[in-house]
Amino acid sequence: MQSKSIDGLMLKQLIEAGLTWLRTNSQLVNALNVFPVPDGDTGTNMLLTMTSAYNEVSNLGYHSAGQMAAAVAQGALMGARGNSGVILSQLLRGFSRALHGKDTIDTPALAAAFAEARDTAYKGVVRPVEGTILTVSKDIAAEAALAEKETDDPVEMLRRCVTAANLSVENTPELLPILKQAGVVDSGGKGLFFILEGMIRFIDGESLEAPVISIQPLSAMNLENALESVEEGQDWEVVVDFRPTGSFELPAFYNRLEEIGTSIQVGEGEGMYRMHIHTPLEKRYDPIDYIMGIGTITKVAMENLLAQMDEIEGQASRAKYELAKIDPGQIAVITVSPGLGLTRIFASLGVAAVVSGGQTMNPSTRDILDAFENLPTDKVIILPNNKNIVLAANQAKEVTAKDVRVVPSTNVPQGLAAMLHMNPDGELDKVAEKMVKALESVITGEITIATRSVEIDGVAVREGQVIALLNGKLAVSSSSVEHACFEFLEKAKARDYELITLFYGEELKHAEANHIADLIREKYPNQEIEVQEGGQPHYQFIISIE
């Protein structure tokens, strides 16, 4: 296909194609996680951001490329989730800015759009890091600048940019040592590549539904997020563990499953395979029957997704806590919380609104904005409580008329420490300044299960081991939650501090958490040990040391 220009309607088709191809391969992007922790959500965040971008234009018929690009950028801005989603929204924002007032996109306009996308994204990050999606955007812009001199076909330019993006992604481990240690390429860059590649696949008439075939480790399948992507009519979740009895051809396996349902994932570990799929009611047994013909089934799990969602809604309705009532002129604090127990604690400290979120469930710019836009005050402080939510919080700050400060808390203990300095009647800047200083007063630990085997910063981890993060860095690998807690406390030099607080997650029972706390009291008799229900997913404990 050759085209001297791209109008608004064709741009809309290309955006939809990029979204579709990213959706098809989002789990592959999620699996490109540096640290062996359950937060591989780059693909999900970019997918939700692109979905918001396309939803903004799905019913629009703009022939003007500039108008269509502006609407895409607005949708991405409000739907941006996580650092990768925010950077993607900044790329689309810059792309749109360069096309302002243009009815069609020719090669000079496309080259300018890629250049402005790069510049806007770099400016949106305080400390840009090479070997990331930013580098990929820079290499795309550089290739577009070269192509402008050699072709007047924007589709050919786009094709060359896809090739450049792929090479750039493959080179990211050479620029960012942590990627090389982990044996992965940058996930955000890979997501951007899939978006552009989807556009070319659409132009070439290739399938956008068959994923790039990839086997991921069993524990990296991230099945906890299944409810976030329940498609209409796909009411049952089926998970089957099996061992193939003969030769196992993954492409044929995928093709057959695609005839049955959606949200297909396949994981492998030591010759054992796990298949995950969503199916309509009448097909819920089809995957089991199919797999029985090609292997030996060792385990089957089936869940009614609608019933699960009803249970979640029921739990939410049973949750009781009272948020602070804010008068006009007072300061309102908005916090992000990953668990019901933590939400109750934040509420007791005086937050005015809570946004549910954390690892694997980053709220969007719109989610954060909606939390405070209707409050009866124009003075707002946001506590993101997760490093992957800080950019979205800053973006919410940019799009509101209210006077907002973002206190860049990167974990829950920091957010709680900041709340101790909350004064609703104080001066906004002074209160925010005290909160920022409080972030340095707490040491944070996170206990979870390793999703894959890796060695980072001298810490060797096997998939399935218990690991501990110290202030966000991998510090401990151990055989049990109990031992991981003790090793973490030793590395954190907990004896030099006064208070150790254990926030236990939804996977631990209260009695088990108390038992571990009692053991810690025996070893640390001079420290005050507290146990609180956190309710957070994925992490057995979040630990605060003060």
Per residue in 164-177, pLDDT tens? 999 999 999 999 98
**Of 258 and 158, which is predicted with more confidence?**
158
Q: Give the mean pLDDT of 540-546.
A: 95
Q: Residue 28: pLDDT band by 50, 70, 90 thresholds?
A: confident
pLDDT level of residue 5 (50, 70, 90 thresholds): confident
- Phi, psi values for residue 360, rounded to 5°: 70, 0
| Count of CB atoms situated within 10 Å of the CB of 89 | 33
pLDDT tier at 455, thresholds 50, 70, 90:
confident
Q: Which fold has domain 319-441?
A: Rossmann fold (3.40.50)
Residue 471 CB coordination number (10 Å):
15
Sheet with 236-244: strands ordered across: 216-217, 262-269, 272-279, 236-244, 295-304
**Mean pLDDT of all residues in 409-424:** 95
Collapsing DSSP to helix, strand or coil, 513 comes out as helix
Distance, CA of 489 to CA of 519 (rounded, Å): 12
Higher pLDDT, 229 or 400: 400
- Quote the crossing angle between the two packed helices 133-148 and 187-203, to the nearest 10°: 40
CA torsion sign, 397 to 403 to 406 to 412? negative
Position 48, amino acid: L
Question: Using 50, 70 and 90 to split pLDDT, how confident is the model at 211?
Answer: low
**Rounded average pLDDT over 140-167:** 96
**Sequence spans of domains, the chain:** 6-203, 216-311, 319-441, 443-545
Sheet with 466-470, side-by-side order of all strands? 473-478, 466-470, 443-449, 539-545, 499-504, 528-533
CB 261 within 8 A of CB 235: no
Instruction: Give me the percent of the chain exceeding a pLDDT of 90.
Output: 66
Instruction: Give the contacts of 151 (CB within 8 A, at least 6 positions apart).
Output: 107, 157, 160
| pLDDT grade for 221, boundaries at 50, 70 and 90 | low
The angle formed by the CA atoms of residues 60, 62 and 64, to the nearest 5 degrees, is 155
Higher pLDDT, 461 or 525: 525
CA–CA gap between residue 395 and residue 391 (Å, rounded): 6
Q: Which of 3.40.50.720, 3.30.70.1150, 3.30.40.230, 2.40.10.220 is the CATH number of 216-311?
A: 3.30.70.1150
Highest mean pLDDT of the ranges 275-284, 298-307, 374-383: 374-383
- What pLDDT digit, counting tens, does each position of 459-470 carry? 888 888 999 999
User: Can you tell me the distance from the alpha carbon of 115 to that of 123, in angstroms, rounded to the nearest whole number?
Assistant: 12
3.40.50.1970, 3.40.120.10, 3.20.20.70, 1.25.40.340: which CATH number matches 6-203? 1.25.40.340
Report CA 357 to chain centroid distance, whole Å. Answer: 10
Phi and psi at 301, nearest 5°, equal: -130, 130
Which CATH code for domain 443-545?
Answer: 3.30.1180
The pLDDT assigned to 310 comes to 53
Residue 433 in tokens: 């300044």
Question: Half-sphere exposure of residue 36, counting CA atoms within 13 Å on the CB side?
Answer: 30
Phi, psi of 499 (to 5 degrees): -125, 130
* pLDDT for position 369: 94
Contact indicator for 545, 500 with CB cutoff of 8 Å: yes
In order of 372, 396, 430, the CA distances from 375 in angstroms are 5, 15, 21
| pLDDT > 70: percent of the chain | 90
**Does 215 score more than 60 pLDDT?**
no
Lowest mean pLDDT among 126-130, 419-423, 431-435, 439-443: 126-130
Per-residue model confidence (pLDDT) at position 318: 46
Q: Residues 493-499: what's their mean pLDDT? A: 95
Task: Examine the pLDDT at 161 and tell me if it is beyond 60.
Answer: yes
Residue 179, φ and ψ in degrees, nearest 5: -65, -40
Report how far apart, in Å, the C-alpha atoms of 145 and of each of 68, 151, 193, 480 are. Answer: 23, 11, 18, 54
Helix/strand/coil (H/E/C) assignment for every residue in 342-398: HHHHHHHCCCCEEEECECCECCEHHHHHHHHHCCCCCEEEEECCCCCCHHHHHHHHH
Chain mean position to CA 91: 17
* Positive/negative CA dihedral, 33, 37, 38, 39: negative
CA distance 185 to 170: 6
- Mean pLDDT (whole number) for 380-392: 94
The pLDDT of residue 314 is above 60: no
Task: Supply the pLDDT for residue 398.
Answer: 92
Contacts of 120 (CB under 8 A, 6+ apart): 90, 91, 93, 94, 97
Euclidean distance between CA atoms 200 and 19, whole angstroms: 12
Closest CA to 332 of 436, 395, 407: 407
For 450, other C-beta atoms within 10 Å of its C-beta total 22
User: Residue range 82-105: average pLDDT?
Assistant: 95
Calculate mean pLDDT across residues 71-95. 94
Looking at residue 226, its pLDDT comes to: 43
